[in-house]
Amino acid sequence: MKLLRIFFTGLFISFLGTLPLGTLNVAAMQISVSDGIRPALYFAIGALIIEMIYVRLSLVAMDWVRKQKKLFRWLEWFTLLIVVALAVTTFIAAAHPSGSGKNIILSSTIHRFWLGVSMSAINPMQIPFWFGWSTVLFTKKVLLPRADHYNTYIVGIGIGTFIGNLIFIFGGHLMVDKLNANQNVVNWVIGGIFAVTAVIMAIKMWRGKDAAEQL
């Protein structure tokens, strides 16, 4: 019963944490629109595996994670550049005269699984998110420093993230259907989301409310 509670706690937190628009879930939606459901699923699986690894490391090395503010700051700048590049390339795809433009980053030759792995690996925002939640769960004695608790928690997180990403992956196709398969309009919308995300990230970094400061 205790493990079941931990499992659903991780699943619920992860699912809700995946719903706000972010780099990875919007990228999964973009891939589903331009390349299809299967590549988007590969991308989502690659991204969530890295998230699970990050959570596991943060659980067993909280003190070390807390001290890595400089590393997270560099990762944030790199992530910001990636998001800006995604916005620009998506706008370029939207302006493609044939109506079939693709994002040159997300539709590159790299396998979508490894693209998800690499983009998730350089995204530091998930680390303070899970660091904070894990601390709360430790404080409330929901989570204990035991291997079975950690493993159950992480499996729940992985499934919750995957379910959340499915909403974006299939939602992208639904958008295309509703817009009469006008992929350019979808690309303009997704490009706008990336651009807004970049602006929000830049403002947070400028105000000192970035991932490094949350640790």
pLDDT tens profile 40-51: 999 999 999 999
122-175 residue pLDDT tens: 876 777 788 778 888 888 888 888 889 999 999 999 999 999 999 999 987 777
Q: Which of 38, 44, 30, 36 has its CA nearest to residue 93? A: 30
Q: What is the mean pLDDT of residues 200-204?
A: 79
**Least confident span in 18-22, 86-90, 98-102, 140-144:** 98-102
Q: Which of 117, 166, 161 has its CA nearest to residue 17? A: 161
Q: What is the mean pLDDT of residues 76-86?
A: 77
Is residue 215 over pLDDT 50?
A: no
Is residue 61 over pLDDT 80?
A: no
Predicted pLDDT of residue 212: 46
pTM of the predicted model, to two decimals? 0.75
**Least confident span in 18-22, 66-70, 80-84, 93-97:** 66-70
Contact call for residues 210 and 204 (beta carbons, < 8 A) = yes
| Domain chopping of the chain, boundaries | 2-214
Measured CA to CA, the distance from residue 168 to residue 37 in angstroms comes to: 11
Is residue 39 over pLDDT 80?
A: yes
Structure-token pair, residue 178: 């509703």
Q: What is the CA radius of gyration of the chain?
A: 18
- With tokens 């992480």, the residue in question is 154
